[in-house]
Amino acid sequence: MKLITGKKENKVFVGVLDSTERKVLAVSHTDSMVDCIAKGEEFLQEIHEKIKAASEEDYFQIEEVTLLSPITNPPKNIICVGKNYVDHAIEMGSKEDIPEHIMVFSKAPTTIIGPADLIKNHLSITKQLDYEGELAIVIGKKGTNIKIEEALSYCFGYTIVNDVTARDLQEKHKQFFLGKSLDTSCPMGPFLVHKESIGNPNSLQIETRVNGEVRQSSNTKHFIFSVEEIISTISKGMTLEPGDVIATGTPAGVGKGFKPPRFLKPGDQIEITIEGIGTLTNKVSLEI
């Protein structure tokens, strides 16, 4: 089951795709997927009832809908795992950079943009804008000190995030927050896929293309820390809430990893495809 947050005639709604993925049915007229997820089982029940009661004409063609980020208002910052693939840890430094414990930082929620929205080039602030294709976990229910064996029951589903990073700011200010939090630096979507449609999240193909050229090609089976370990570790002493988004880290092939580096330029198009979810496509703005 693939869910969207969409806008049609200035009304924001939560919808579900049909099996062709060409049509959308509105399942809730709240503008907040987070509120829907927080209803738990009741929300899933509502979706099934809406689908059952719907006739052909209740569906919109997907082209008639502007897709927004599936999660527009997470309860806290977007939580991000750093260096969760060995090859990426090495391209960012050396073997010494392979973490022993999960590395965690965050992005301000004001970074979130939807599929097809423009990533601002921020040329007056950074000369090293970079892409990071990532699988993102969306939390489904509140929990603290979650056991690894129960971790997936706290997950609602998965989406795609581009953890856009200003490398020069990341280095200059030491702490990652600023370099990771420029406005528009968290493209997300296009769909939020319910966990039951995904199977094993630790075995999904992930690919990032810049202007059609493959830059990152890996599989989440190469995670250093699994989805279960990530949820369990982050929840130790910190309450996870419905709608929290956790980006799971990026594989090798970021712009900084090339010699010489290949940072993003105005007009570049970044496409991130994850098996079972879809493709997130955004362009870097031409204007500052």
In the region spanning residues 218 to 257, those forming contacts with Mg ion, defined by CB under 5 A, are 250
In the region spanning residues 26 to 85, those forming contacts with Mg ion, defined by CB under 5 A, are none
Q: Are 105 and 82 in contact (CB under 8 A)?
A: yes
Out of 117, 130, 163, 271, which residue is the one contacting Mg ion (CB under 5 A)? 163
Q: How many of the chain's residues bind Mg ion (CB under 5 A)?
A: 3
User: In the bound complex, what is the minimum distance in angstroms from residue 3's beta carbon to Mg ion?
Assistant: 24
In the region spanning residues 198 to 217, those forming contacts with Mg ion, defined by CB under 5 A, are none
Out of 132, 228, 244, 271, which residue is the one contacting Mg ion (CB under 5 A)? 132
Q: Between 163 and 271, whose beta carbon lies closer to Mg ion? A: 163
Half-sphere exposure of 166 (CA within 13 A, CB side): 26
Q: Are 243 and 138 in contact (CB under 8 A)?
A: yes
Which region, judged by CB under 5 A, interacts with Mg ion, from 157-165, 193-201, 254-262, 273-281?
A: 157-165
DSSP string, 40-101: THHHHHHHHHHHHH--GGGPEEGGGSEEE-S-SS-SSPEEEEES-BHHHHHHTS-GGGS-SS
Nearest CA to 235 out of 136, 135, 150, 163 is that of 150
User: In the bound complex, what is the minimum distance in angstroms from residue 102's beta carbon to Mg ion?
Assistant: 13
Q: Are 190 and 164 in contact (CB under 8 A)?
A: no
| Amino acid in position 253 | G
The CA dihedral of 74, 256, 258, 132, to the nearest 10 degrees, is 0
Which region, judged by CB under 5 A, interacts with Mg ion, from 42-50, 110-118, 161-169, 218-226?
A: 161-169
| Amino acid in position 28 | S
Q: Round to whole Å and give the CA distance between 265 and 278.
A: 24
Q: Between 121 and 250, whose beta carbon lies closer to Mg ion? A: 250
User: In the bound complex, what is the minimum distance in angstroms from residue 155's beta carbon to Mg ion?
Assistant: 19
Residue with smallest beta-carbon separation from Mg ion:
163
Q: Between 117 and 132, whose beta carbon lies closer to Mg ion? A: 132
User: In the bound complex, what is the minimum distance in angstroms from residue 86's beta carbon to Mg ion?
Assistant: 15
Q: Between 4 and 246, whose beta carbon lies closer to Mg ion? A: 246
Question: What is the binding site for Mg ion (CB under 5 A)?
Answer: 132, 163, 250
